[in-house]
Structure 1
Amino acid sequence: MNLKAGLSEALENAVKKSGIVSEMPEIKIETPKDKANGDFSSNVAMTLTKQAKKNPRDIAASIIEHLDESAASIKSVEIAGPGFINFFMDESSVAQVIPQVLEQGENFGRSTPEVKEKVLIEFVSANPTGDLHIGHARNASVGDTLANIMDFAGHDVEREYYINDAGNQIDNLALSIDARYLEALGQELVMPEDGYMGRDIQNIGQKIAKESPELIDTTKEDRIGMFRKLGVDYEMEKLKKDLDDFNVNFDNWFSETSLYENKEVNAALDVMIENGYTFEADGALWLRTTDFGDDKDRVLRKSDGTYTYLMPDVAYHYDKVERGFEKLINIFGADHHGYIQRLKGSLGALGKDPEMLEIKIMQMVRLIENGEEVKMSKRTGKAVTLRELIDTIGVDACRYFLAMRSSDSHLDFDMDLAKSESSDNPVYYAQYAHARICSILRQAKESGHETDKNADVSVIMNEQALDLIKKMAAFPNIVKGSAQHRATHRIATYIQELASTFHKFYNAEKVLSDDEDKTKAYLLMIEAVRQTLQNALKLVGVSAPEKM
């Protein structure tokens, strides 16, 4: 039983039966902050005012008149303010969600969408030229959480990392390794102008010099070809290890180089030329992205015959569509805002729907320690890496903190708070709720209280307990809304609310008491809460410990 879904269906049927409008509106049901306004509230009467040409309170009265209250477990209903309809639910029916949660177990909250989509989420996709930093960590946490949520909401989801293993940056990586290789063999260090000075590059150069000193006798061109692959392989192996330890696992690792090897760049370009969206000017080939809302047209092929960075990106997105994905979601860094319209425009030029592509822009993260911003690692003097965050704070706290705020807002990551074992730390607070429930269940077993799945949960009448059940029952709709709006932070917010509601119940009422019927009902209830909390934490990639 899903109270909100049942109410939504009953409300829709009442609107249809009332005959006040010919076109059904979207039924929105909210949970009021003030309990005096009921368990649920809807503004549907006010949204129908223009269409029905009636006063919203009169519309609300007509809807209520045709409402099947028993079908939706409604105890009472009232009209409030300008036309809100407030619903008070039958408390005996509220508790019936408990056996549903226990029956569905780890699948409680999972749903089947009206339209199931094949979704590709591309995220992180950092250049393989150095370590992942805090910005990449937020991207990884949000991207993986979004994939979890959309999968749980019933979509066919794949995670993909785009490896930028072609272009100038990789050329510079190879040239930097070559410089370090020659240095290790006693030659003067001559780094390229935009070379990479990191310790990694020095280590690779020294390793190759030790294992293959004879390469010094080959041509520079041949060495660069070998070092390009060696450098990318070395960096990618390290990135994959860090992401794996961060509990982020990709279904696909897509190589940019493969686009050239498989002639997909040429194929995508031919399609855009054939569709009439390209033109030549100043010796270059341009794409008319202004036809699709971009602020200016973009160069695809420069006058010297080489491609711009945009062309392989276009080919890559063409490849995504050709693989059968119906929704493309890219999670980009804050400096990629200008990419949105040009990439959407390129899909249009390829004859595809630009709205297939959604681009989420991740805002910046500030690390805060002792009340001050931390810009550099104490160990390396450079940007704080994902590896350091994992080692210092732990995966659970890191993932939770990075996913608990809307991705379109700046985030202050308080390292001291993330490391603290107190109720002020949101992930500790949530995990402690789970561990506390596990502790109560162990105590119950030790004291002879057997969990009875057939216990009568209708005996639960305590206000805090009913609030807890209602909060638990909201989880499936929270998942649906989070998936629909790509709002990963809603899951973290829900986790906090569920944990808080449990702690309030725990402080107000004893689970284990002399009242055997109530004890059995409460044991079932808290086991259902534990399961819901575990399911929600799993979506964010956070563990649910049994002891703390």
Structure 2
Amino acid sequence: MFLALRTEVEDALREALSTLELPTDDLGIEEPPDDVDSVLASSVAFRLAGELGVAPPQAAADVADEIDTDELTYVSRVETQGPYLNFLPSEAYFAETLANGTDDDYGTLPNRDESVVVEHTSANPTGPVHVGRARNPIIGDAVANVLDAAGYDVDRHYYVNDAGRQMAVFTWAYETFDEDDLETEPERDRIEYDLVRYYRKGNEFLEEGPESEVEAAEAEIDAIMQGLEEGDEATYERVSEVVDQVLGGMKECLARLPAEFDEFVKETRFMFDGSTDDVVSRIQDLEESVYEEDAWQLELDEYGIDKNLVFLRSDGTSLYPTRDLAHHEWKFDNYDRAVTVLGEDHKLQAEQLRQTLELLGNDTDPLRQVLYSYVNLPEGKMSTRRGTGVDLDDLLDEAIDRAREEVETRLDDRIRDDDLDEADVERIAHQVGIGAVRYDIVAKQPTKAITFEWDRALDFEAQSAPYVQYVHARCCGILEEAGIDLETGTSEVETDVDASLLETPEERDLLETIARFPSVIDAAADDLEPHQVATYTREFAERFNAFYRECPVLADDVDPDLREARLALVAAARHTIANALSVLGVAAPRSM
């Protein structure tokens, strides 16, 4: 309803300004401070004071006089506070918020008939997913979720680097060495942990092996790369045997978050269909193209990029950026918009890509690139047995273990619920543990470096995932105590209630917060900033907890009509917080 109210305020302001024969291009609409009763405000009077020849407070009063609230549905009155116009909600605003909030899909915006491809993660298939890259699938998945909720037709893509030197080395090592040649055991019983040992062995051999054997190995690695460049199917099958197995294990890891994909797009696709060759030919025709230092390069200093884009080696093999150019032109042909989530170390490549696409005649307005800083872990908190770095699996296992310990401690500190068995404890540990990791990472602005800290992420009392998840569990507990069957997934809460009975400040604050949820989705999608949704959930939790403290729902002395209205409010709160957490990829437990 907040979006509907905002539209109504915009229309009313434009009409009032037109009547006063004033410009309507900048309405100055903003959300007021928490200590103001209105849900929207306008600072337009600052701009208009000079044109009207009066002080800003008088300009605000003049505009307010031109707004007829009798013609508005969701605004009850307009008040001025100095130079500000404050728009107060009507009873219809609260009633429709309550009715809409009880819908299962509340917060989902109408279909925009616009397709978006979100590419994220795209880690090289050379081994397990490292924790330093964990921010990519978490942010990428949340970006895709918020776009989906905002009404876009979203495809989630993982771009697979299956044609670079790393995969040629991996393929050669896999075919060359036997299990007996490997000095270590797999760190986990999953395929990528098994096969990464061949990759490590291969790199070690290339660095330390006998010179003549290394030369022979390099010749074979070059042959693999040439075979892929020439579209040789036999070479592709050799490489794919390694790539597909490692990727299969990586998918299992990412599914734990969960982060799932509609398509895994291999870069060899754009070599075999001729589009990479086409890109190379077109770049060579550009006046910025030069051949120097045994490679074809594109000079971009004229466009503020001080490093050349190398797009073709002297042996005729293309590079990752060249194939990615073809990949992006394919995106432009098949989608209305393209979003790519990248680590901060890819900022230069992102700038080179965009500029080269423009030089090739592409409109890059549909392309948005979300850059993020990496996740660090506190010194000494986690380490792997082999000293090869911390894998995402390690982080998730640790999160589940710590969450299980916290849940069991909390159960021991109170009378155990007979309905909460060991399976429930394990379910809650997974939901809370993995939810804590996702929430703590996605809640920060992507460009800010973060250090993941367990005490903060798993704090049930602070503004963390468990703190917000507990709100959903509390809603479920109230509804179940009222006899509502949540197992079926349908709500039996009475929705034809008198919303005007919800008149305390805590009830109204919660209703207003529920009303804003669709607008939060809309803004987060426009800005590609899912952390805005996380910020909203923390505010929501505070508002709900205030309501829970001050407004009993099922107490014997509560009037029956008020009881039904408050139950409807709890149901609306439950749907809102569940859907907000879902956008963030965080589970909404029914019990905690």
Q: Please point out which of 163, 171, 176 is paired with 1:174.
A: 171
Going from structure 1 to structure 2, the CA distance change for 1:40 and 1:184 (only over 3 Å counts) comes to same
Aligned to 1:109: 107
- Cα distance in structure 1, aligned partners of 2:38 and 2:463: 31
Aligned to 1:66: 66
Q: Please point out which of 482, 507, 514 is paired with 2:549.
A: 507
Going from structure 1 to structure 2, the CA distance change for 1:446 and 1:241 (only over 3 Å counts) comes to closer
- Cα distance in structure 2, aligned partners of 1:425 and 1:491: 13
Aligned to 1:388: 394
Residue aligned with 2:123, SS: coil
Matches within 5 A, 1:141-540: 141-181=138-178, 184=180, 200-202=195-197, 221=220, 225=235, 228-273=239-284, 278-281=289-292, 284-290=295-301, 292-322=303-333, 324-368=334-378, 372=379, 374=381, 377-393=383-399, 394-420=433-459, 422-424=460-462, 426-445=464-483, 451-513=493-555, 514=557, 515-540=559-584
How far is the alpha carbon of 1:540 from its aligned partner? Answer: 0.9
- Cα distance in structure 1, aligned partners of 2:527 and 2:159: 24
Aligned to 1:80: 81
Task: Spell out, residue by residue over 1:336-366, the C-alpha distance to the aligned partner (whole angstroms, 9 max, x if none).
Answer: 1112221111210221113322211111212
Moved more, 257-266 or 91-100: 91-100
How far is the alpha carbon of 1:101 from its aligned partner? Answer: 1.9
Aligned to 1:209: none
Aligned to 2:119: 122
Q: Is the CA contact 2:46–2:56 (under 8 Å) kept in the aligned structure 1?
A: yes
Residue aligned with 2:482, SS: helix
**Unmatched tracts of structure 1, length 5 or more:** 190-196, 207-218
Going from structure 1 to structure 2, the CA distance change for 1:377 and 1:154 (only over 3 Å counts) comes to same
How far is the alpha carbon of 1:231 from its aligned partner? Answer: 2.4
Going from structure 1 to structure 2, the CA distance change for 1:256 and 1:404 (only over 3 Å counts) comes to same
Matched to 2:75, the amino acid is: I
Aligned to 2:188: none
Q: Is the CA contact 1:180–1:202 (under 8 Å) kept in the aligned structure 2?
A: no
Aligned to 1:44: 44
- Cα distance in structure 2, aligned partners of 1:50 and 1:124: 52
Going from structure 1 to structure 2, the CA distance change for 1:266 and 1:470 (only over 3 Å counts) comes to same
How far is the alpha carbon of 1:54 from its aligned partner? Answer: 6.6
Matched to 2:241, the amino acid is: L
- Cα distance in structure 2, aligned partners of 1:277 and 1:11: 48
Q: Is the CA contact 1:367–1:415 (under 8 Å) kept in the aligned structure 2?
A: no
Moved more, 351-360 or 32-41: 32-41
Q: Is the CA contact 2:2–2:518 (under 8 Å) kept in the aligned structure 1?
A: no
Task: Spell out, residue by residue over 1:473-493, the C-alpha distance to the aligned partner (whole angstroms, 9 max, x if none).
Answer: 000100000001111101111
How far is the alpha carbon of 1:66 from its aligned partner? Answer: 2.1
The sequence identity of aligned pairs, in percent, is 30
Residue aligned with 1:511, SS: coil
- Cα distance in structure 2, aligned partners of 1:159 and 1:230: 24
Matched to 1:431, the amino acid is: Q
Moved more, 248-257 or 347-356: 347-356
Task: Spell out, residue by residue over 1:136-159, the C-alpha distance to the aligned partner (whole angstroms, 9 max, x if none).
Answer: 221111101110111111112111
Q: Is the CA contact 2:95–2:498 (under 8 Å) kept in the aligned structure 1?
A: no
Matched to 2:108, the amino acid is: R
Task: Calculate the TM-score normalised by the size of structure 1.
Answer: 0.85
- Cα distance in structure 2, aligned partners of 1:69 and 1:456: 23
- Cα distance in structure 2, aligned partners of 1:485 and 1:282: 41
How far is the alpha carbon of 1:237 from its aligned partner? Answer: 0.9
Going from structure 1 to structure 2, the CA distance change for 1:201 and 1:89 (only over 3 Å counts) comes to closer
Matched to 1:509, the amino acid is: C
Residue aligned with 1:254, SS: strand
Task: Calculate the TM-score normalised by the size of structure 2.
Answer: 0.79
Q: Is the CA contact 1:15–1:63 (under 8 Å) kept in the aligned structure 2?
A: no
Q: Is the CA contact 1:149–1:488 (under 8 Å) kept in the aligned structure 2?
A: yes
- Cα distance in structure 2, aligned partners of 1:303 and 1:23: 61
Moved more, 435-444 or 287-296: 287-296
Residue aligned with 1:109, SS: coil
- Alpha-carbon RMSD across the aligned residues, in angstroms, is 3.1
Matched to 1:336, the amino acid is: H
Aligned to 2:4: 5
Q: Is the CA contact 1:400–1:492 (under 8 Å) kept in the aligned structure 2?
A: yes
Going from structure 1 to structure 2, the CA distance change for 1:68 and 1:90 (only over 3 Å counts) comes to same
How far is the alpha carbon of 1:535 from its aligned partner? Answer: 0.9
Residue aligned with 1:337, SS: helix
How far is the alpha carbon of 1:91 from its aligned partner? Answer: 5.0
Going from structure 1 to structure 2, the CA distance change for 1:255 and 1:521 (only over 3 Å counts) comes to same
Matches within 5 A, 1:87-98: 87-90=87-90, 93-98=93-98
How far is the alpha carbon of 1:79 from its aligned partner? Answer: 2.7
Matched to 1:326, the amino acid is: D
- Cα distance in structure 1, aligned partners of 2:132 and 2:335: 27
Going from structure 1 to structure 2, the CA distance change for 1:319 and 1:293 (only over 3 Å counts) comes to farther
How far is the alpha carbon of 1:199 from its aligned partner? Answer: 5.7
Q: Is the CA contact 2:169–2:199 (under 8 Å) kept in the aligned structure 1?
A: no
- Cα distance in structure 1, aligned partners of 2:252 and 2:368: 28
Task: Spell out, residue by residue over 1:81-133, the C-alpha distance to the aligned partner (whole angstroms, 9 max, x if none).
Answer: 4x22222333564243101222xx232112237x6532111110001111112
How far is the alpha carbon of 1:205 from its aligned partner? Answer: 11
Going from structure 1 to structure 2, the CA distance change for 1:204 and 1:410 (only over 3 Å counts) comes to closer
Task: Spell out, residue by residue over 1:62-86, the C-alpha distance to the aligned partner (whole angstroms, 9 max, x if none).
Answer: 32122232414334433334x2222
Residue aligned with 2:24, SS: coil
Residue aligned with 1:87, SS: strand
